[in-house]
Structure 1
Amino acid sequence: MNWDTYHFDELTAGKLYEFLKLRVDVFIVEQNCPYPELDDLDQESVHMAYMENGQTLAYARLVPAGVKYDLPSIGRVIVHPSARGRGLAKELITKAVDYILAEWQVNEIQLQGQVYLQSFYESFGFMPISEAYDEDGIPHVDMKFTKNKM
């Protein structure tokens, strides 16, 4: 499997469009949730993606510490509807955690997950650090991963 990472200035216009279209198609259209998708975090982030035959099938945005939270974070975790059920989400989270720990030399990672995915994230060692709350009409929970606490 070919997983790639891109800093914002490495993205072509076509690749950026593809990532943003997938994010809008899933988070806004599929989940029927109008919210400001373009939040000025993309420019500081690392974009991780898995592609087959020129199509992005899995994607996450890795945000450095101090940009959104005090800790680095994983967000915009998506698997294309046509590729669900293949284990790509598990591989994506594993690769995202590994990248952040190795490249940014940190021991903790934060994420804001949808509540229905809480047990999924817990399977990687993320633990809730907030109560459930409403974010744009969808229940979310803040979670934190601490290295060597798995």
Structure 2
Amino acid sequence: MLNIVIKPFNELSILELYNLLQLRSEVFVVEQDCVYQDIDGKDQNALHVIGYKNDRIVAYTRLFKPGDYFKASSIGRVVVIKNQRQFKYGYDIMEASIKAIKTHFNVTEIKISAQCYLKNFYNNLEFFEIGEEYLEDGIPHIAMLYKK
């Protein structure tokens, strides 16, 4: 089971920041073989949702209030370390993220930019496709919306 911690940027320890950036790089840059600028200057405005297992970060998302990324609130950088995906921690971290947006931002509309191969995963969390597929950093994506 994950121990989930939610913090604004200025409350992250140096070690937490290092470890979450390492996880993002390991999955989004190395595993997905995608060269892109992960450190994009937006982390400072985000609420960080960190999933720990045995004191190690194994899952993560970052959240934005409406207007900070999209017009709606948003969840991004959704990641689970490869050797822990079989435990379905993606659902745990996303459910915690949805709840955090409702609690911290007092809104229920959430927009994401999802990698297309994960559409069914997000559909199971009640996100639904809007618009057409597009390429982001060379990877097919689709905008998805949650309203509840």
Q: TM-score surpassing 0.5?
A: yes
After TM superposition, list the pairs within 5 Å mapping 1:23-38 onto structure 2: 23-38=24-39
Alpha-carbon contact 1:58-1:80 (below 8 Å) kept: yes
Match of 1:49 in 2: 50
Match of 2:102 in 1: 101
Partner SS for 2:122: helix
Alpha-carbon contact 1:41-1:63 (below 8 Å) kept: no
- TM-score if structure 1 supplies the norm length? 0.95
Match of 1:88 in 2: 89
Deviations 1:17-43 (A, max 9, x none): 100010011000100000110111100
Hey, what's the Cα distance between the residues in 2 that align with 1:128 and 1:60? Answer: 20
Match of 1:17 in 2: 18
Match of 1:40 in 2: 41
Task: Give the ranges of 4+ consecutive aligned residues of structure 1 lying more than 3 Å apart after TM superposition.
Answer: none
Hey, what's the Cα distance between the residues in 2 that align with 1:79 and 1:43? Answer: 21
Partner SS for 2:70: coil
- TM-score if structure 2 supplies the norm length? 0.96
Partner SS for 2:86: coil
Q: Which amino acid aligns with 2:70?
A: Y
The reply to whether residue 132 of structure 1 matches residue 144 of structure 2 is no
Superposition RMSD on alpha carbons, in Å? 0.9
Hey, what's the Cα distance between the residues in 2 that align with 1:92 and 1:86? Answer: 12
Hey, what's the Cα distance between the residues in 2 that align with 1:40 and 1:141? Answer: 23
Hey, what's the Cα distance between the residues in 2 that align with 1:105 and 1:53? Answer: 31
Partner SS for 2:131: coil
Alpha-carbon contact 1:5-1:49 (below 8 Å) kept: yes
Match of 1:78 in 2: 79
Give, in angstroms, the shift of residue 63 of structure 1: 1.3
Q: Which amino acid aligns with 1:5?
A: I
Hey, what's the Cα distance between the residues in 2 that align with 1:94 and 1:145? Answer: 12
Give, in angstroms, the shift of residue 106 of structure 1: 0.6
Q: Structure 2 stretches of 5 or more lacking a match?
A: none
